[in-house]
Every structure is written in C-alpha cells, then in structure tokens.
Amino acid sequence: MSSEVAIKVEGLSKCHQIYEQPRDRLKQFVLPRLQHLSGQPVRQYFSEFWALKDISFEVKKGEAVGIVGRNGSGKSTLLQIITGTLMPTAGSIVTQGRIAALLELGSGFNPDFTGRENVYLNGALLGFSASQIDARFDAIAAFADIGQHLDQPVKTYSSGMLVRLAFAVQVQVEPDILIVDEALAVGDALFQKRCFQRIEKLTSDGTTLLFVSHDQESVRTLTNRALLLNKGRSASWGLSSDVILQYRKLLHEEESAYLSGLARELTDRANTSSFTKPHSSELVRDFQASSSTKASSQGARSRRLSFGDGGVKIDKVEILNEEDVPCLVFSPGERIRIKVSCVSSVSISKLNIAVRLRNKEGVKIYSWGTLNQDMTERARDSVAPVFWDQHFDAGEVFHVILDCACDLGENLYEVQASVSLEETMNYMHQRMLHWLDEAAFFQVSIKRDEYFFGGAVDLKMRATW
C-alpha cells in the first residue's frame, strides 16, 4: 500500500448468522459435522444477513471522508471493522497510523473509574505513556470542561459529559486517523461548535478523518469526499457534494414510494372506515339512529385513527396542486390545496373544518380552519359570507378546500383533519365531531439550483445594500 494512503478497503463484506431459536446455534455447531461424517447432506441452521457486501475505497492521509446512509445501511459495521473491533467475513482492510475512534457512547471507559483515571486508561490504549498524558492532561481537562466531575466515577456522568470527556481525549492526543460516528449528536450546540473547530484544525494539520453523521450539511462542510451506503452496498463514492446529492435522491425515492403506499392505504381506510359511537345528546341521538348499522362494522383500526362525538364525518382528505390534480410532492412557492370532504348525518350548522400540519419529527408546523377565517371576517365587519353560518341537512355531502402557498422547508408532512361544532365564534365552546389522524401526507422538496433556503418555513427574506 502506498505511503500516501491511510485506509485501504478492498472487497470488504460482513455476514451475520441469524438464528431463529437459541437451540439452532447449538445445532449448527454440532450437526453439520455429524452430517458430513455420515455422508448426509449438510444442513444450515441459520439465515445470512449481509451487513456489508463488497465495499472498496481508499482514503489518503490527511483526507476528510464522510460516510452517509440510512439507519441499517452498514455505516457502524464498517467503522467497527476499520477500528479492529469486528472481523470481516471477506475482503481486506489496511490502515496506517494511530486510530482514535468515537463510536458508541462511553466505549473504552471503565464506569467505575473516575474521569481522570479513564483519561490515563484511554491514553495507554492509544499507546501513550503516563508522562505523555501528564503533558496533555491540562488541555484535555480544559476542552472537556466538566469541572469537579473529572474526579467522580464515569457511571455518574450524563451522556453530554461522557462525550465531552471522550472527545477531549481522542483529539488532544492528535491521532493519525480520527473516526467519529454520530457521537457529537448528544452534545450541546456550543460544544459541537468547538468540536467541529477542533476537527477542522486536526484535518488541516494532516489527521485523516472518517465522519459519520445524518446531518448532511456537516458532512458537506467537514469532508471533501464521501461514501454512500445503501443496504450494505456502496451506492456512491466521490466528491461530498455529489454523494450528498445522490443521498438526497435516494431518500426522495424511498419517501415517494412510502408516500404512494401510504396514500393507497389511507384511501382504503377512508373507503372502509366507520365512526366511533357518539355520546348522548339530541344531536348524537340523531346521528346514532342514522348510522347504527355502520358503527359496529369496523373496530380497533378506526378508533386508532379517529375519535369524536359524531354527527359529521370526514369522508376523505385529498392533496391537490393548483390545477386541482392530486399531488404528493411540492416545491416551495407552489400552491397546495387540501380538500376535505365531509358527510353530515344530522341537520347542523356552526361547523369548523380545520387541518393541522406536522413534520416527520412530530412538530406541529401550522393549524388553521374555516373558523379562523370567519373570525377575521367578523372582526373586519365584512359582509362576506362565513362558513360558520352554513347549514347542512342530514345526508348532505359537502367539501371545503383550504388553499395556501407551500412556504415550507424540505420535509415530510402529515395532515390531520377535524370537523368540530363551535357554539361560539371564538373556539371557546368546541365539541369535536370527528378528528382524523394521518388523513393525508405530502412532501416538500427544494429545487436547490433554483430556490434554496434552510429551516422549517420560508420567511422570504430580501437583502438590500
């Protein structure tokens, strides 16, 4: 291997043996030998799972390389093999220089030792003498910045304190190869900033970096080349910007496939779902009489997704573009139209049709309904009609379209829909008739070369000078 290469991986594969039952492991250890000796066909009592399959790449000394991919794609397995804590099934790997790794939180620490004792223990594992650690100890303690806790057992540390100390040890001993696997995610923002500054200094001084993170911008910023893993195989290798683009496309394709399947499932649910039995009241008795035969047909699935007193039911929620064509993927600035179709089982008015948008992290991004618009019209003394005054007869089907500009950041969004009875036009006396979770989904994808911003929403900032 060339002296300019720090890491060389050739045809690397890792297979795990998966046993359905514990006794199958014993069978695999004993029976194949007996079957071979007796001339019988040799049987395999496990299934194979290839965590990695035929991975090859080179990392030059002083180069910063990112490794990206979805959970379960093989990133951590690859790093464990590189560090020597896991043996490959096939292929080879050669490294040159001292390796410092931050893999699993707290790995390499003795929980009963103090932080100070663990500093010397980790230093010894990295090949440093006590005197060499003495010379670096003050810098390690200052970077970790955990104060008097340095002389307390590590088992009393929080996750943030643990990663502070671990990172401080690894970077202050100035390794030839530094491997970081999502360990910095538990640190606070200020500590992460200091870590990234330190990593940049190490790479500029010639340290080779392998950096694994789900934060695509960190990978793009810290590394110059990257490897994309998908289901244990190499999907892309090259410039970080190009690999991150391929990663985004991969996520987009998988999310689009997921959304399509979810949309079909939600359509089936909407066609077959029933409604929870209502509570007693004049309104509810009317509904109960009109729908008693339907209310018993569907059980747990309907109750899991919806609740309410009844009287009006959300029949379907559709996501449309500005041409009123069903659409699941939007770009910022495009119009998005949410069509809520309802059916009334009673004679009723004073309704509010509303939606709530949540991103895939579960954060509520926005909620709004027809009552919000009605309240604004009344506050302005407008003569425009309000939805709250609309009257619907038993058996009537009606639709409401909620229209807006899609000024949202790149993400996957869930639409929750509801129809409520509002005795007053101020949300103070509300009865929920039907609430529906997972009513619809859509995705926002940014066209980076045309219009780009970061964050949850587009504030449409402008610059002047």
Shared-domain flag, residues 233 and 382: no
Shared-domain flag, residues 286 and 204: no
Shared-domain flag, residues 289 and 211: no
User: What is the rounded distance in angstroms from the CA atom of residue 256 to the CA atom of residue 258?
Assistant: 5
In a domain, 114, yes or no: yes
Shared-domain flag, residues 436 and 389: yes
Residue 306 · residue 435 · CB < 8 Å: yes
Shared-domain flag, residues 41 and 184: yes
Shared-domain flag, residues 303 and 362: yes
Categorise residue 90: left if φ over 0, alpha if ψ from -120 to 50, beta otherwise.
beta
Q: What local confidence, expressed as pLDDT, does residue 27 receive? A: 82
Q: Domain end: 213, 248, 283, which one?
A: 248
In a domain, 75, yes or no: yes
CATH of the domain at 286: 2.70.50.60
User: What is the rounded distance in angstroms from the CA atom of residue 232 to the CA atom of residue 26?
Assistant: 28
Q: How far apart are the first and last CA of the chain?
A: 55
Give the mean model confidence (pLDDT) for residues 155-178. Answer: 82
Q: pLDDT tens-digit profile of 231-256? A: 999 998 998 878 887 887 787 667 65
Q: What local confidence, expressed as pLDDT, does residue 359 receive? A: 85
Shared-domain flag, residues 215 and 136: yes
Q: What local confidence, expressed as pLDDT, does residue 2 receive? A: 66
The CA dihedral of 281, 271, 319, 278, to the nearest 10 degrees, is 10
Q: pLDDT tens-digit profile of 407-436? A: 999 888 989 899 999 999 988 888 889 988
Shared-domain flag, residues 52 and 120: yes
In a domain, 167, yes or no: yes
The gap from C-alpha 177 to its chain's centroid, in whole angstroms, comes to: 29
Range of the domain at 375: 273-444
Among 44-48, 295-299, 324-328, the least confident range: 295-299
Q: What local confidence, expressed as pLDDT, does residue 296 receive? A: 39
In a domain, 200, yes or no: yes
In a domain, 205, yes or no: yes
Among the listed residues 433, 392, 418, the one whose alpha carbon sits nearest the alpha carbon of residue 276: 433
Q: Read out DSSP for 240-292?
A: HHHHHHHHHHHHHHHHHHHHHHHHHHHHHHHHH---PPPPSSHHHHHHHHHHH
Q: Map tokens 């929750």 to a residue.
A: 416
Shared-domain flag, residues 286 and 238: no
CATH of the domain at 212: 3.40.50.300
Shared-domain flag, residues 383 and 319: yes
Residue 301, pLDDT > 80, answer no
Q: Map tokens 């993400």 to a residue.
A: 411
Outline where DSSP puts E strands in 23-104: 47-60, 64-68, 90-95, 99-102
Q: What share of the chain is helix, strand, coil (3-state, %, to 5)?
A: 35, 30, 35
Residue 349 · residue 382 · CB < 8 Å: no
User: What is the rounded distance in angstroms from the CA atom of residue 193 to the CA atom of residue 247?
Assistant: 25
Output 83 or 343, whichever has higher pLDDT: 343
Give φ, ψ of 275 to 5 degrees.
-120, 145
In a domain, 23, yes or no: yes
Q: Report the domain count for the chain.
A: 2
In a domain, 360, yes or no: yes
Q: CB count, 10 Å around CB of 388? A: 19
In a domain, 460, yes or no: no
User: Cβ neighbours of residue 93 under 8 Å, at least 6 residues apart?
Assistant: 7, 8, 9, 10, 12, 81, 82
Q: Which residues of 408-441 are buried (b: 16+ CB within 10 A; e: fewer)?
A: bbbbbbbbbbbbbbbeebeeeeebebbbbebbbb
Q: Which residues pair with 444 in a beta bridge?
A: 330, 411
Burial class (CB in 10 A: 0-12, 13-18, 19+), 102: buried
Shared-domain flag, residues 242 and 278: no
Q: pLDDT tens-digit profile of 106-149? A: 567 888 899 889 888 888 877 788 888 888 888 888 888 888 88
Categorise residue 17: left if φ over 0, alpha if ψ from -120 to 50, beta otherwise.
beta
Q: What does pTM read for this prediction?
A: 0.54
Shared-domain flag, residues 230 and 322: no
Q: What local confidence, expressed as pLDDT, does residue 269 receive? A: 63
User: What is the rounded distance in angstroms from the CA atom of residue 91 to the CA atom of residue 10?
Assistant: 6
pLDDT band for position 41 (cuts 50, 70, 90): confident
Q: pLDDT tens-digit profile of 355-392? A: 999 887 667 899 999 999 999 999 999 888 999 999 99
Give φ, ψ of 381 to 5 degrees.
55, 35
Among the listed residues 296, 278, 433, 272, the one whose alpha carbon sits nearest the alpha carbon of residue 354: 433
Residue 406 · residue 395 · CB < 8 Å: no
